[in-house]
Chains A and B, each alone.
Chain A
Amino acid sequence: MNYAFSFVYIVENLPVLFDGFMVTVRVSVISIAIASLIGIAGAAVRLLKVPVLSQVVGAYVHFIRSTPLLPQIFFIFYGLASVGLPISSFWAGVFALSLWGGAYNVENVRGGFLSISKGLHEAADSLAFGPLHYLWLVAVPLGVRVSLPSMLNTSVSVLKNSAYLQAIGLAELTFVAMDKVSLEFRTLEMFAAIGVMYLVLVLALSIAVRRLENVLQKPFRP
Protein backbone atom coordinates (compact mmCIF):
# COMPACT_ATOMS: atom_id res chain seq x y z
CA MET A 1 0.00 0.00 0.00
CA ASN A 2 2.89 2.29 0.64
CA TYR A 3 4.14 2.83 -2.88
CA ALA A 4 6.79 5.54 -3.03
CA PHE A 5 7.29 6.84 -6.54
CA SER A 6 11.02 6.88 -7.15
CA PHE A 7 12.55 9.24 -9.70
CA VAL A 8 15.92 7.85 -8.78
CA TYR A 9 14.80 4.45 -10.05
CA ILE A 10 13.92 5.98 -13.42
CA VAL A 11 17.22 7.80 -13.66
CA GLU A 12 19.11 4.62 -12.78
CA ASN A 13 17.36 2.78 -15.56
CA LEU A 14 17.65 5.47 -18.20
CA PRO A 15 20.51 3.71 -20.05
CA VAL A 16 18.43 0.54 -20.46
CA LEU A 17 15.36 2.52 -21.48
CA PHE A 18 17.44 4.51 -23.91
CA ASP A 19 18.42 1.31 -25.74
CA GLY A 20 14.75 0.45 -26.15
CA PHE A 21 13.99 4.04 -27.12
CA MET A 22 16.54 3.89 -29.94
CA VAL A 23 15.13 0.60 -31.24
CA THR A 24 11.66 2.16 -31.28
CA VAL A 25 13.01 5.21 -33.11
CA ARG A 26 14.82 3.12 -35.72
CA VAL A 27 11.98 0.72 -36.43
CA SER A 28 9.47 3.59 -36.57
CA VAL A 29 11.47 5.96 -38.75
CA ILE A 30 12.22 3.28 -41.33
CA SER A 31 8.62 2.02 -41.32
CA ILE A 32 7.14 5.51 -41.59
CA ALA A 33 9.42 6.28 -44.55
CA ILE A 34 8.54 3.05 -46.37
CA ALA A 35 4.85 3.43 -45.51
CA SER A 36 4.87 6.93 -47.03
CA LEU A 37 6.43 5.63 -50.24
CA ILE A 38 3.94 2.75 -50.39
CA GLY A 39 1.15 5.30 -49.90
CA ILE A 40 2.30 7.50 -52.78
CA ALA A 41 3.05 4.58 -55.11
CA GLY A 42 -0.22 2.79 -54.28
CA ALA A 43 -2.31 5.93 -54.69
CA ALA A 44 -0.53 6.60 -58.01
CA VAL A 45 -1.38 3.12 -59.26
CA ARG A 46 -5.01 3.71 -58.34
CA LEU A 47 -5.05 7.21 -59.85
CA LEU A 48 -3.65 5.96 -63.17
CA LYS A 49 -6.00 2.96 -63.00
CA VAL A 50 -3.13 0.64 -63.93
CA PRO A 51 -4.87 -2.58 -64.94
CA VAL A 52 -4.48 -5.52 -62.50
CA LEU A 53 -2.09 -3.59 -60.22
CA SER A 54 -4.86 -1.20 -59.27
CA GLN A 55 -7.05 -4.12 -58.15
CA VAL A 56 -4.13 -5.69 -56.29
CA VAL A 57 -3.54 -2.45 -54.38
CA GLY A 58 -7.27 -2.21 -53.62
CA ALA A 59 -7.29 -5.72 -52.20
CA TYR A 60 -4.12 -5.11 -50.18
CA VAL A 61 -5.56 -1.96 -48.62
CA HIS A 62 -8.81 -3.71 -47.84
CA PHE A 63 -7.10 -6.73 -46.31
CA ILE A 64 -4.72 -4.76 -44.07
CA ARG A 65 -7.44 -2.42 -42.86
CA SER A 66 -9.86 -5.24 -42.05
CA THR A 67 -7.52 -7.35 -39.93
CA PRO A 68 -5.83 -6.58 -36.60
CA LEU A 69 -2.17 -5.62 -36.66
CA LEU A 70 -0.98 -8.25 -34.18
CA PRO A 71 -1.89 -11.27 -36.34
CA GLN A 72 -0.30 -9.45 -39.30
CA ILE A 73 2.93 -9.20 -37.32
CA PHE A 74 2.79 -12.90 -36.36
CA PHE A 75 1.93 -13.85 -39.92
CA ILE A 76 5.03 -12.14 -41.24
CA PHE A 77 7.43 -13.19 -38.49
CA TYR A 78 6.39 -16.83 -38.06
CA GLY A 79 4.97 -17.25 -41.53
CA LEU A 80 8.22 -16.30 -43.26
CA ALA A 81 10.21 -18.47 -40.88
CA SER A 82 7.96 -21.45 -41.55
CA VAL A 83 8.52 -21.25 -45.31
CA GLY A 84 12.26 -21.20 -44.73
CA LEU A 85 12.81 -17.44 -44.85
CA PRO A 86 13.79 -16.59 -41.31
CA ILE A 87 13.82 -12.87 -40.67
CA SER A 88 14.99 -10.91 -37.63
CA SER A 89 12.31 -9.50 -35.37
CA PHE A 90 13.54 -6.00 -36.28
CA TRP A 91 13.05 -6.47 -40.02
CA ALA A 92 9.84 -8.43 -39.53
CA GLY A 93 8.65 -5.42 -37.53
CA VAL A 94 9.66 -3.00 -40.26
CA PHE A 95 7.93 -5.20 -42.83
CA ALA A 96 4.68 -5.44 -40.86
CA LEU A 97 4.49 -1.78 -39.81
CA SER A 98 5.37 -0.56 -43.33
CA LEU A 99 2.65 -2.68 -44.90
CA TRP A 100 0.18 -1.60 -42.23
CA GLY A 101 0.95 2.13 -42.46
CA GLY A 102 1.26 1.89 -46.25
CA ALA A 103 -2.32 0.65 -46.58
CA TYR A 104 -3.64 3.64 -44.64
CA ASN A 105 -1.37 5.98 -46.55
CA VAL A 106 -2.68 4.73 -49.91
CA GLU A 107 -6.08 6.02 -48.85
CA ASN A 108 -4.62 9.22 -47.36
CA VAL A 109 -2.73 10.11 -50.54
CA ARG A 110 -5.64 9.07 -52.74
CA GLY A 111 -7.76 11.58 -50.84
CA GLY A 112 -5.10 14.20 -51.57
CA PHE A 113 -5.11 13.34 -55.28
CA LEU A 114 -8.90 13.58 -55.40
CA SER A 115 -8.79 17.05 -53.84
CA ILE A 116 -6.95 18.44 -56.87
CA SER A 117 -9.35 20.38 -59.07
CA LYS A 118 -10.41 18.87 -62.36
CA GLY A 119 -9.32 22.12 -63.97
CA LEU A 120 -5.66 21.51 -63.21
CA HIS A 121 -5.87 18.03 -64.67
CA GLU A 122 -7.41 19.50 -67.82
CA ALA A 123 -4.77 22.22 -67.95
CA ALA A 124 -2.08 19.52 -67.81
CA ASP A 125 -3.91 17.56 -70.51
CA SER A 126 -4.13 20.59 -72.79
CA LEU A 127 -0.40 21.14 -72.38
CA ALA A 128 0.09 17.61 -73.73
CA PHE A 129 1.34 16.16 -70.44
CA GLY A 130 1.24 12.37 -70.38
CA PRO A 131 -0.38 10.64 -67.39
CA LEU A 132 3.00 10.10 -65.69
CA HIS A 133 3.91 13.76 -66.05
CA TYR A 134 0.61 14.77 -64.56
CA LEU A 135 1.27 12.39 -61.69
CA TRP A 136 4.78 13.52 -61.00
CA LEU A 137 4.55 17.24 -61.73
CA VAL A 138 1.03 18.03 -60.49
CA ALA A 139 -0.68 15.27 -58.50
CA VAL A 140 2.18 14.30 -56.19
CA PRO A 141 3.35 17.78 -55.18
CA LEU A 142 -0.19 19.07 -54.68
CA GLY A 143 -1.86 15.91 -53.39
CA VAL A 144 0.79 14.92 -50.87
CA ARG A 145 0.66 18.41 -49.41
CA VAL A 146 -3.07 18.04 -48.82
CA SER A 147 -2.73 14.55 -47.36
CA LEU A 148 0.09 15.46 -44.94
CA PRO A 149 -2.15 15.84 -41.86
CA SER A 150 -3.73 12.42 -42.38
CA MET A 151 -0.32 10.91 -43.17
CA LEU A 152 0.93 12.36 -39.90
CA ASN A 153 -1.92 10.57 -38.09
CA THR A 154 -0.98 7.30 -39.72
CA SER A 155 2.69 7.86 -38.93
CA VAL A 156 1.89 8.51 -35.25
CA SER A 157 -0.08 5.24 -35.25
CA VAL A 158 2.88 3.39 -36.78
CA LEU A 159 5.08 4.79 -34.02
CA LYS A 160 2.66 3.80 -31.26
CA ASN A 161 1.98 0.40 -32.80
CA SER A 162 5.68 -0.39 -32.77
CA ALA A 163 4.95 -1.42 -29.15
CA TYR A 164 3.22 -4.53 -30.55
CA LEU A 165 6.59 -5.73 -31.78
CA GLN A 166 7.42 -6.85 -28.24
CA ALA A 167 5.22 -9.82 -29.14
CA ILE A 168 7.89 -11.09 -31.52
CA GLY A 169 10.64 -10.34 -29.04
CA LEU A 170 11.91 -7.03 -30.38
CA ALA A 171 13.60 -5.15 -27.52
CA GLU A 172 11.87 -1.85 -28.21
CA LEU A 173 10.81 0.64 -25.58
CA THR A 174 7.71 -1.16 -24.23
CA PHE A 175 9.50 -4.51 -24.25
CA VAL A 176 12.36 -3.11 -22.16
CA ALA A 177 9.93 -1.57 -19.69
CA MET A 178 7.86 -4.76 -19.35
CA ASP A 179 11.01 -6.74 -18.88
CA LYS A 180 12.13 -4.51 -16.03
CA VAL A 181 8.66 -4.49 -14.45
CA SER A 182 8.54 -8.28 -14.40
CA LEU A 183 11.82 -8.34 -12.49
CA GLU A 184 11.54 -5.37 -10.15
CA PHE A 185 7.81 -4.49 -10.09
CA ARG A 186 8.40 -0.74 -10.45
CA THR A 187 5.30 -0.50 -12.61
CA LEU A 188 4.42 3.18 -12.21
CA GLU A 189 7.95 4.43 -12.73
CA MET A 190 8.54 2.40 -15.84
CA PHE A 191 5.27 3.16 -17.57
CA ALA A 192 5.41 6.84 -16.63
CA ALA A 193 8.90 6.99 -18.07
CA ILE A 194 8.08 5.32 -21.37
CA GLY A 195 4.84 7.32 -21.58
CA VAL A 196 6.88 10.50 -21.55
CA MET A 197 9.27 9.05 -24.11
CA TYR A 198 6.47 8.17 -26.54
CA LEU A 199 5.06 11.63 -26.01
CA VAL A 200 8.39 13.19 -26.93
CA LEU A 201 8.60 11.06 -30.09
CA VAL A 202 5.09 11.96 -31.21
CA LEU A 203 5.85 15.61 -30.57
CA ALA A 204 9.07 15.43 -32.58
CA LEU A 205 7.24 13.74 -35.45
CA SER A 206 4.52 16.40 -35.43
CA ILE A 207 7.08 19.19 -35.46
CA ALA A 208 8.92 17.58 -38.37
CA VAL A 209 5.70 17.32 -40.38
CA ARG A 210 4.73 20.90 -39.47
CA ARG A 211 8.10 22.02 -40.87
CA LEU A 212 7.53 20.06 -44.06
CA GLU A 213 4.06 21.55 -44.37
CA ASN A 214 5.51 25.02 -44.02
CA VAL A 215 7.99 24.39 -46.80
CA LEU A 216 5.31 23.00 -49.12
CA GLN A 217 2.96 25.81 -48.17
CA LYS A 218 5.34 28.51 -49.33
CA PRO A 219 3.87 28.99 -52.85
CA PHE A 220 0.38 29.37 -51.46
CA ARG A 221 1.13 32.41 -49.34
CA PRO A 222 0.46 35.56 -51.31
Chain B
Amino acid sequence: MPNSPATAEGPVISVRGVVKKYGNMRALDGVDADVSRGEVVVVIGPSGSGKSTFIRCLNGLERVDGGRVTIDGMPISTRRDWQVARRRIGMVFQDYSLFPHMTVMSNICLAPVRARVGTRAETEERAMEMLERVGLAHKANDFPAALSGGQQQRVAIVRALAMKPEAILFDEPTSALDPETIGEVLAVMKELAREGMTMVVVTHEMGFAREVADRVVFMDKGRIVEIGPPEVIFTSPREDRTKAFLEMIF
Protein backbone atom coordinates (compact mmCIF):
# COMPACT_ATOMS: atom_id res chain seq x y z
CA MET B 1 0.00 0.00 0.00
CA PRO B 2 2.37 2.70 -1.20
CA ASN B 3 -0.17 5.46 -0.73
CA SER B 4 -1.42 4.70 2.73
CA PRO B 5 -0.66 7.44 5.22
CA ALA B 6 2.07 6.81 7.74
CA THR B 7 -0.19 8.16 10.42
CA ALA B 8 -3.90 8.50 10.00
CA GLU B 9 -4.12 11.23 12.63
CA GLY B 10 -2.26 14.52 12.70
CA PRO B 11 -1.75 17.01 9.89
CA VAL B 12 -1.01 15.83 6.35
CA ILE B 13 1.43 18.68 5.87
CA SER B 14 3.13 20.58 8.65
CA VAL B 15 5.72 23.34 8.38
CA ARG B 16 7.65 24.95 11.22
CA GLY B 17 9.84 28.02 11.06
CA VAL B 18 10.34 27.72 7.32
CA VAL B 19 12.75 30.22 5.80
CA LYS B 20 13.46 30.59 2.10
CA LYS B 21 16.03 33.10 0.94
CA TYR B 22 16.83 34.46 -2.50
CA GLY B 23 20.20 36.09 -1.97
CA ASN B 24 19.65 38.29 1.05
CA MET B 25 15.93 38.59 0.54
CA ARG B 26 13.75 36.36 2.69
CA ALA B 27 10.88 35.21 0.50
CA LEU B 28 9.66 33.18 3.48
CA ASP B 29 10.59 34.43 6.88
CA GLY B 30 9.62 31.89 9.52
CA VAL B 31 6.37 30.28 8.44
CA ASP B 32 4.42 27.85 10.64
CA ALA B 33 1.34 26.08 9.34
CA ASP B 34 -0.53 22.79 9.46
CA VAL B 35 -2.88 21.33 6.90
CA SER B 36 -5.24 18.70 8.30
CA ARG B 37 -6.71 15.82 6.41
CA GLY B 38 -9.70 16.87 4.32
CA GLU B 39 -9.07 20.53 4.91
CA VAL B 40 -9.16 23.26 2.26
CA VAL B 41 -6.67 26.03 3.01
CA VAL B 42 -6.78 29.10 0.79
CA VAL B 43 -3.72 31.36 0.70
CA ILE B 44 -4.19 35.01 -0.15
CA GLY B 45 -1.92 38.03 -0.07
CA PRO B 46 -0.37 40.78 -2.19
CA SER B 47 1.93 40.06 -5.11
CA GLY B 48 5.41 39.10 -3.95
CA SER B 49 4.24 38.17 -0.46
CA GLY B 50 5.58 34.63 -0.81
CA LYS B 51 2.41 32.65 -1.60
CA SER B 52 3.98 30.70 -4.47
CA THR B 53 7.20 30.18 -2.57
CA PHE B 54 5.21 28.85 0.37
CA ILE B 55 3.15 26.38 -1.62
CA ARG B 56 6.21 25.25 -3.61
CA CYS B 57 8.00 24.44 -0.37
CA LEU B 58 5.16 22.02 0.44
CA ASN B 59 6.23 19.63 -2.32
CA GLY B 60 9.91 20.43 -2.43
CA LEU B 61 9.99 22.43 -5.66
CA GLU B 62 11.78 24.96 -3.49
CA ARG B 63 14.20 23.61 -0.91
CA VAL B 64 13.93 25.44 2.39
CA ASP B 65 16.91 27.28 3.89
CA GLY B 66 15.63 26.89 7.43
CA GLY B 67 12.89 25.22 9.44
CA ARG B 68 11.31 21.94 8.47
CA VAL B 69 8.56 20.40 6.40
CA THR B 70 6.78 17.27 7.59
CA ILE B 71 4.51 15.14 5.44
CA ASP B 72 2.31 12.64 7.28
CA GLY B 73 4.49 13.03 10.35
CA MET B 74 7.69 12.30 8.43
CA PRO B 75 10.32 15.03 8.17
CA ILE B 76 11.31 15.53 4.55
CA SER B 77 14.71 16.89 3.67
CA THR B 78 16.75 15.06 1.04
CA ARG B 79 16.03 14.98 -2.68
CA ARG B 80 15.19 11.32 -2.36
CA ASP B 81 12.70 12.03 0.49
CA TRP B 82 10.99 14.55 -1.72
CA GLN B 83 10.80 12.27 -4.69
CA VAL B 84 8.93 9.74 -2.56
CA ALA B 85 6.78 12.36 -0.81
CA ARG B 86 5.70 13.85 -4.12
CA ARG B 87 3.73 10.73 -4.90
CA ARG B 88 1.42 11.83 -2.10
CA ILE B 89 1.27 15.56 -2.80
CA GLY B 90 -0.08 16.60 -6.20
CA MET B 91 0.33 20.03 -7.78
CA VAL B 92 -1.63 22.08 -10.27
CA PHE B 93 0.09 25.04 -11.90
CA GLN B 94 -1.12 28.36 -13.22
CA ASP B 95 0.00 27.49 -16.77
CA TYR B 96 -1.38 23.89 -16.66
CA SER B 97 2.01 22.46 -17.70
CA LEU B 98 0.58 19.52 -19.60
CA PHE B 99 3.17 17.63 -21.64
CA PRO B 100 2.52 18.97 -25.13
CA HIS B 101 3.79 15.89 -26.95
CA MET B 102 1.45 13.48 -25.20
CA THR B 103 -2.28 12.91 -25.51
CA VAL B 104 -4.57 13.82 -22.64
CA MET B 105 -4.72 10.13 -21.68
CA SER B 106 -0.92 9.73 -21.65
CA ASN B 107 -0.54 12.93 -19.66
CA ILE B 108 -2.81 11.45 -17.01
CA CYS B 109 -1.63 7.85 -16.96
CA LEU B 110 2.11 8.13 -17.43
CA ALA B 111 3.12 8.96 -13.86
CA PRO B 112 0.73 6.66 -11.96
CA VAL B 113 1.59 3.67 -14.14
CA ARG B 114 5.29 4.40 -13.67
CA ALA B 115 4.92 4.82 -9.92
CA ARG B 116 2.79 1.64 -9.80
CA VAL B 117 -0.17 3.42 -8.28
CA GLY B 118 -2.18 0.97 -10.35
CA THR B 119 -1.89 -1.24 -13.40
CA ARG B 120 -2.16 0.39 -16.80
CA ALA B 121 -5.67 -0.96 -17.32
CA GLU B 122 -6.91 0.22 -13.91
CA THR B 123 -5.28 3.60 -14.33
CA GLU B 124 -6.76 4.13 -17.78
CA GLU B 125 -10.19 3.12 -16.58
CA ARG B 126 -10.00 5.52 -13.65
CA ALA B 127 -8.67 8.26 -15.91
CA MET B 128 -11.62 7.80 -18.23
CA GLU B 129 -14.07 7.98 -15.33
CA MET B 130 -12.47 11.16 -14.03
CA LEU B 131 -12.38 12.72 -17.49
CA GLU B 132 -16.06 11.93 -17.83
CA ARG B 133 -16.80 13.66 -14.55
CA VAL B 134 -15.02 16.83 -15.64
CA GLY B 135 -16.77 16.63 -19.02
CA LEU B 136 -13.72 15.83 -21.13
CA ALA B 137 -14.06 12.14 -21.97
CA HIS B 138 -14.32 13.04 -25.65
CA LYS B 139 -10.87 14.70 -25.49
CA ALA B 140 -9.01 11.68 -24.12
CA ASN B 141 -7.03 11.08 -27.29
CA ASP B 142 -6.40 14.72 -28.22
CA PHE B 143 -3.18 16.60 -27.67
CA PRO B 144 -3.20 19.54 -25.22
CA ALA B 145 -2.83 22.07 -28.05
CA ALA B 146 -6.35 21.14 -29.17
CA LEU B 147 -7.85 22.08 -25.78
CA SER B 148 -8.91 25.43 -24.35
CA GLY B 149 -7.16 26.75 -21.24
CA GLY B 150 -10.03 25.72 -19.00
CA GLN B 151 -10.06 22.23 -20.50
CA GLN B 152 -6.29 21.89 -20.09
CA GLN B 153 -6.52 22.92 -16.47
CA ARG B 154 -9.24 20.34 -15.80
CA VAL B 155 -6.99 17.71 -17.38
CA ALA B 156 -4.13 18.91 -15.15
CA ILE B 157 -6.36 18.39 -12.11
CA VAL B 158 -7.25 14.88 -13.28
CA ARG B 159 -3.55 14.22 -13.88
CA ALA B 160 -2.76 15.18 -10.28
CA LEU B 161 -5.69 13.07 -8.99
CA ALA B 162 -4.58 10.01 -10.96
CA MET B 163 -1.64 9.63 -8.57
CA LYS B 164 -4.21 9.16 -5.74
CA PRO B 165 -2.54 11.92 -3.73
CA GLU B 166 -3.34 12.74 -0.15
CA ALA B 167 -3.30 16.44 -0.88
CA ILE B 168 -3.23 18.70 -3.92
CA LEU B 169 -1.54 22.09 -4.12
CA PHE B 170 -2.94 24.71 -6.51
CA ASP B 171 -0.92 27.80 -7.42
CA GLU B 172 -3.30 30.32 -8.96
CA PRO B 173 -5.04 27.68 -11.05
CA THR B 174 -7.41 30.12 -12.72
CA SER B 175 -5.19 33.17 -13.20
CA ALA B 176 -4.30 32.35 -16.81
CA LEU B 177 -7.91 31.65 -17.82
CA ASP B 178 -10.54 33.70 -19.61
CA PRO B 179 -13.25 34.88 -17.22
CA GLU B 180 -15.80 32.59 -18.92
CA THR B 181 -13.75 29.46 -18.28
CA ILE B 182 -12.69 30.20 -14.70
CA GLY B 183 -16.03 28.81 -13.52
CA GLU B 184 -15.45 25.38 -15.10
CA VAL B 185 -12.24 24.91 -13.18
CA LEU B 186 -13.57 26.29 -9.90
CA ALA B 187 -16.54 23.92 -10.17
CA VAL B 188 -14.21 20.94 -10.39
CA MET B 189 -12.21 22.21 -7.43
CA LYS B 190 -15.36 22.73 -5.37
CA GLU B 191 -16.45 19.19 -6.06
CA LEU B 192 -13.04 17.90 -5.01
CA ALA B 193 -13.32 19.84 -1.78
CA ARG B 194 -16.79 18.42 -1.14
CA GLU B 195 -15.40 14.91 -1.55
CA GLY B 196 -12.92 15.60 1.19
CA MET B 197 -9.70 16.15 -0.75
CA THR B 198 -7.04 17.97 1.22
CA MET B 199 -6.22 21.13 -0.72
CA VAL B 200 -3.96 24.16 -0.43
CA VAL B 201 -5.02 26.81 -2.91
CA VAL B 202 -3.32 30.09 -3.75
CA THR B 203 -5.95 32.20 -5.48
CA HIS B 204 -7.32 35.66 -6.06
CA GLU B 205 -10.86 34.20 -6.34
CA MET B 206 -12.27 35.50 -3.09
CA GLY B 207 -15.70 34.02 -3.86
CA PHE B 208 -14.11 30.58 -3.95
CA ALA B 209 -12.24 31.27 -0.73
CA ARG B 210 -15.39 32.34 1.11
CA GLU B 211 -17.42 29.42 -0.14
CA VAL B 212 -14.95 26.54 0.02
CA ALA B 213 -12.12 27.35 2.40
CA ASP B 214 -12.03 25.85 5.85
CA ARG B 215 -9.28 28.30 6.70
CA VAL B 216 -7.83 31.33 4.93
CA VAL B 217 -4.17 32.22 5.29
CA PHE B 218 -3.21 35.84 4.71
CA MET B 219 0.45 36.32 3.84
CA ASP B 220 2.53 39.47 3.58
CA LYS B 221 6.29 40.01 3.23
CA GLY B 222 7.13 36.33 3.60
CA ARG B 223 5.15 35.82 6.79
CA ILE B 224 1.74 34.49 7.66
CA VAL B 225 -0.02 37.51 9.11
CA GLU B 226 -3.30 35.86 9.99
CA ILE B 227 -5.02 32.50 9.71
CA GLY B 228 -8.70 31.98 10.31
CA PRO B 229 -12.01 30.76 8.97
CA PRO B 230 -13.21 32.78 5.96
CA GLU B 231 -16.11 34.34 7.90
CA VAL B 232 -13.59 35.88 10.27
CA ILE B 233 -10.86 36.85 7.79
CA PHE B 234 -13.26 38.46 5.32
CA THR B 235 -15.58 40.22 7.75
CA SER B 236 -13.63 40.99 10.89
CA PRO B 237 -9.89 40.46 10.39
CA ARG B 238 -7.73 40.96 13.42
CA GLU B 239 -4.73 42.54 11.70
CA ASP B 240 -4.59 45.96 10.06
CA ARG B 241 -2.56 44.64 7.16
CA THR B 242 -5.27 42.09 6.37
CA LYS B 243 -7.89 44.85 6.49
CA ALA B 244 -5.85 47.06 4.19
CA PHE B 245 -5.37 44.24 1.68
CA LEU B 246 -9.04 43.29 1.65
CA GLU B 247 -10.13 46.89 1.25
CA MET B 248 -7.78 47.20 -1.69
CA ILE B 249 -9.16 44.21 -3.55
CA PHE B 250 -12.87 44.64 -2.85
Contacts and interface: CB of A to CB of B under 8 A. Distances in A.
Nearest to B115: A128
A127 B163 contact: yes
Nearest to B168: A126
Contact of B111 (A120, A128, A141, A222): A128
Interface in A185-222: 216, 218-222
A137 B59 CA distance: 21
Contacts of A145: 101
Nearest to A123: B97
Contacts of B159: 127
Given A126-B59, A126-B86, A219 B97 contact: no
B93 A130 contact: no
Contact of B61 (A117, A122, A218, A219): A122
Given A119-B95, A126-B91, A127-B111, A219 B86 contact: no
Interface residues of B, number: 30
A19 interface: no
Contacts, number: 65
B77 interface: no
B110 interface: yes
B176 to A, nearest CB: 11
A128 B115 CA distance: 8
B101 A125 contact: no
Contacts of B61: 122, 125-126
Q: Which of B101, B145, B163 is packed against the most chain A CB atoms within 10 Å?
A: B101
Interface in B60-103: 60-61, 83-84, 86-87, 89-91, 93, 95, 97-103
Contact of A126 (B90, B99, B101): B90
A142 interface: yes
A190 to B, nearest CB: 47
A133 B114 contact: yes
Nearest to B147: A222
Interface string B170-190: 000000000000000000000
A125 B97 contact: no
B6 interface: no
A216 B101 CA distance: 8
A119 B101 contact: no
Contacts of B111: 127-129
B146 interface: yes
B63 to A, nearest CB: 12
Contacts of B146: 222
A114 B19 CA distance: 29
A57 B163 CA distance: 37
Contacts of B110: 127, 137
A219 B163 contact: no
Given A126-B59, A137-B110, A219 B91 contact: no
Given A123-B97, A219-B101, A128 B145 contact: no
B143 interface: yes
A41 interface: no
Interface of A: 117, 119-120, 122-123, 125-130, 133, 137-138, 141-142, 145, 216, 218-222
10 contacts: A120-B99, A125-B61, A126-B61, A128-B83, A128-B84, A128-B115, A128-B163, A129-B114, A220-B145, A222-B145
